[in-house]
Structure formats: C-alpha cells, structure tokens
Structure 1
C-alpha cells in the first residue's frame, strides 16, 4: 500500500510534467494540469500528516511532528486513566455486582437435593436428654438461644477469621479459580461495553488523529489490545497484572487480619446481618428443628439426623431465595467487598499498565500503533491525492467559467 500511494503521487507528477510540455499544442490539457498539480499537493500534505504522527518527516526537526513517540508518556497515563475511570471504579464494579444475586444463588444451592451433611448424634443418656428438652418451653428457649447466639457472634471478631481463611486458601492455591472468574467477568464486561470504550477513545483523540480518520482504528486497536491482555493474564500464571492481582488479594487477607479500619467495616456488616429480623426468624426455625431432631435421636439412638439437618439447610435456602431484605443485606456485603478491593488496589493495576507503556521506547509504540492501523494510513494518502486533484480541477473549472 505504501508503494501504491507513492506510485500514485509519482504518476501525478509525471502527468503534470507531460501535460505542461504539450500544453501549447493542446490548451485543453490545462484541466489535466490543474488536477495533477492539486493531486500532488494533496498527496504530499497527507503524506506529511500521516508521517508526522509516527516520526519526523525526512528526519527534519519540524515542530509538532513524531507526535506518538513524543507523547508516549501522556498516552500511557491516558490509557491508565481510561482503564481506571471506566473499568476499575467503585461505581462500575457496584453496577456489575448488582446484576448478580449472590444470596439467591446460595439459596438455590442449599435447596437443591443432597445439600445436607451426614451427621449422627449418639448418646448414652438419651431418655434423660429427651425429657429435659421436652420439658423446656420451645418459644422461650428459642429466644434465649437466639439471643445467646447473637451475643456470642457479637463477641467474635469475624474479620481475622476471614483473613486467616483467605490466607490459608491462598497458600493452598484455592484462590486461583476466583481470580480466573474475575478475569473472565472483566472480559464479559468489556464485551458488553465495547461501544462505550470506542466512543471514549474517539472523544479523547486529539484533533489531528480525528482529522486523519485514525480515531476509529485507534479505538479498535485499544479494544483488541485489552482483549489480548485479558487473554494473556488468563493463560499466563506469571503475568505481571495477574501477579499484581494476587498481591492485592494477599494484601486484602492481611488487612482483614491486621487493619483496624477494615475490621471495623466487616464488624459493621456482620451486625447488620445479625440484626435482620429474617435471620432471627430463620434461626428460631432452625433451633426448633434441631430440638425436635435431638429429641428424636435421643429417643431413638439408631435414628438418622441428616434429614433434619438437610431440612434446616433447605429452610435457610428458602430464606435466602425468598427474603428480599436478607438478599439485599448479603448482596450489599458482597458488593462492598468487591468495591473495597477495587478502591484499594485498582490504582496499582492501572499503575502497572502505565509503567509498562512508559518503558516502551518511542519506536516500539509507534511501530505497534502503525502496524495496528495498517493499510488505512496509506488509503489516507491515496484519498488525499485523488480528493486534492478533484478540488484543484473544480477550482480551475470555476476560474474558467467566471
């Protein structure tokens, strides 16, 4: 395409020289001269514009040329800012999390057959235990047990337990499926917002890029680059962004165990859940089922408890599935956790992107963008040559008529 564009320019020069030579004998060639002369101007102007984006034309230190190599650092910062502003913001993460009902999914899982755990209670004093349990007032005992359980939960610091569990999961590599799911979710979010990404890139392109028609190609290149980066993160366990994400997860686990501010947030969310009337109502039902199950087992040591425990779990599943208020609290907790991770560690991810682009030399980034845009750069030169010629011919015709 470069040869074609340059050849067209040379053809216009040849036509111009030939027409000038035969003009005295053929006055009508003035129209061809006007066309070829203006075509050369248009072709040279667009060659200069295209070349000025990536390098200095003819190596001359002309101001405002070699735009991409000279503005490499600003491009890196703009890409990082774009990622952070459109993908790693609390608003975007919260909006995506609202579409996922975690509590309902957990409820459906608990309701599913086979979700109960096998367990058997054996006791040598079954009759005595059964008599004691039957003699107690179920409602009063249920309220006392519920209050005692809430009191115990209030005294237990959940955050360190979660932090230790997360640290153990990381040590055993059980966090990797979560990271891969997050990467795939990011890919789905990008796919659903491709037009927004392209629109943002086009809006942020400078006037010269929009004038030359490169903004659409640049937007496509950015989208393709993001898809490629996500694919590389997914398949390469040692990818820098993936390592940075794992580092953020380790930092989150550490904060759960040692950061007072994070622990305070978790405790506040825990109190919101335990104060929910639906949770109390569910626990009363669970306790009554447990009491009846214990009586049954005590009366019949050979009886099985799994059905009762499975029923209790199914009751919890129904509560999670049907109680919109309980769903809202649990989903809000999950959403706040995701937003907190984004707020704390999103900046580190985009910083890595910015630093990576900054480390590229000017020639590397120019070659990558020029290669991504490809043939269209030379079509700009070809179109400039032809359009310039038509404009010159039109001006010559109007000059002859007027």
Structure 2
C-alpha cells in the first residue's frame, strides 16, 4: 500500500522589507553582469558603450546607496568604518528624542485640550447607546471580547482580594451609629415604630403563655413549706401570670400607657446617643468590625465578588443580551437624552476634557519617562530590527532609485562625452 507523504510545513511569509532588499540587491547584481557583458562586447558596436556607461554608473549609484542604507543599521561588510551603525550606537539618544517628541507634540495639557476641544464624545456615546445595533457591530463585538479577555486574564486571586478588601474597607469606614440613630428618630417621628412595639408586646404575651410553667416552677421552688402545704404558691403563680398578661394587654390597647411611654423614651434616648454619644458610636463600631471579621461575613463578601464577576463576564460576552434588559433600556434612554440635551453634552465633554488634561498633566512626564527607559532597555539588535522592519522597505526603494538614477546620469555623461 502506498504511504502518503507527510504534508510539508508551510513556508513562513517573507517580510516586505526583506523582499525589497532582495530585489534591490538583485538589480545591483544585474547591473554588474550587464557591465561585464557590455565591456566584453564594446568593440562590436559603438552603441554598446552607452550600455556599458549606464551599467557602470548604475553600479556606482547602487553601491553608494547600499552603503548609506546599511550604515544606518550596521557596519557594512562588518568593517568598523567611522559613522556607520548609526542607529545601534545612538539608540539611547533616539529614545530620548522620541520621548521628547511625544511630550512636546502629544502629551502637553495645551495640546490635549486643543484636540479634545474638537471631539464631541458625548454625542458619539449618545448615538451608540441610542442605537447600539447600528454602525459596525464588529467594533462592539471586539470591545466585548477585549473586555472579557482582560477580566479573564487578570489574576483572580489578586483582583478578587483587592475588590473584597475594598468592600471590607468601605464597610469599616462607614459610621453606622449616626445613620441608625437618624433612621430610628425619623421612624419615631412618623409613628413607624408603633407596629414594631406592638409586635414586641405580642411576642412577649405569646412567650409568657408558652412558658408560664417556668414561672409556676420558680414560685414553687422559692416558696416556703407552709405556702406549698396550703397551696398558696399556686395562687401566687396565677396572680403573677395574670398580672403580667393584663399589663401586656393594657400596653397593647393603650398607646399612652406609662410603660410604653417609658419604652419610647428609651428609644428616643438610644437614637440621640447613636447620633451624638461618642462612646455609643465606638461601641457600634466595635460590633461592626466584629461582624465584618466574622467568617460568615467574609464568605458573603466572597460570594458577592464571584456573582459580580460572573455577571460582568456574562454581560461582556453577550452585549446584545445585556442591552436587551432593563439596563439596556436605561442606556437607550441615556443615549436619547444625550442627543437631545446640549447642556448635558457640554458638561460631559467638559468633564472628559478636564479628565484628559488632568491625566496628561499628572502622568505625561511618567509616560515620556517610560518610553525613554523602554528604548534604553532594548538591546541594539532589537532597536535595529524593529526600525528596519518599519522603514526598511522604503530604504530599499532608495537603493533601487539610486541604481536607476546613477545609470541614467552615467548614460547622460557618456552621451555628452561622445557628442563632444
């Protein structure tokens, strides 16, 4: 049975700069071959002299431009000729110059403010939010994939730790006592505490009814022999239980009952202490910290972060679904408002402009320093390779043009010499 040969690996594509360098070198070699052929046959006809002159001058022009182009990136033929390998020798100065160029032309507050002045970011955002299905859907899908990749690529333990730490820190930073005191005071002022007190009284009545045997047992144990022998302990227990039930019934029926008013006074004092008593606030803060440090609370925060992360991933992976719910409806309304309200657009654009200018003023020098230090950190071979790949194709065109122009100049000089 004939065995199939394994497929050959696909050849890697040739970089355009390298392909152009091969073409320029091939043209130089062709001019050299043409010169040798013309020189060997120049005696056959006078016109061959023109071909020889063209080829000879083309070789000179091509070699001169080859030397100039090569001297930018390396030593020609490996010879340490002065003023060659210009880019590797001056990479640090190139990095500093590039950084200064960025700073002077892009990263100054005045330049950023001037460019941001021409941008209407609010209107663009409004058009996108009002009609997200329009336009280029690839942009939205690409942005969604990028956001999902960023979320998945981040270190989840570190990011989750940062988020959970921020939540716990925010909880610890909250001064809960004044908030609770204000809420209690407002509830009492509007009478919203009355149902709560009624519920407490009802709970106390039911608890008393369910546990009256405990009171009877306590009275029986503490009574003397005479009371137990005469059965008066049972009468005393009944009197105590009936008195407590009547007290609770009176408190439930009479909002102005003295004990109920005392309880309300206690609540009012508690509300004032929560707002103004530093000792009470410190006590509430200790309770708050104990709750935050409780393992159950930590598990709740962990679950909160996981739910938030999962929700974000679902939203960015399926932006169309996310835009179809209530959030999408709210975003559509926001987009329509941005398109209608010129003042809101002005405020948003001004905020974006000020934010960009502030970021430039605060971090522009850091970005410039980063560019300079990054280029300084590259080795000479990396700088040479990247620049040669970026502009090498155009430089090889210089070699081709130099070969052709040199040949034409040589042809013109030979023609003048022949005619004279």
Per the normalisation by structure 1, the TM-score is 0.42
Per the normalisation by structure 2, the TM-score is 0.41
Query: Which has the greater radius of gyration?
Result: 2
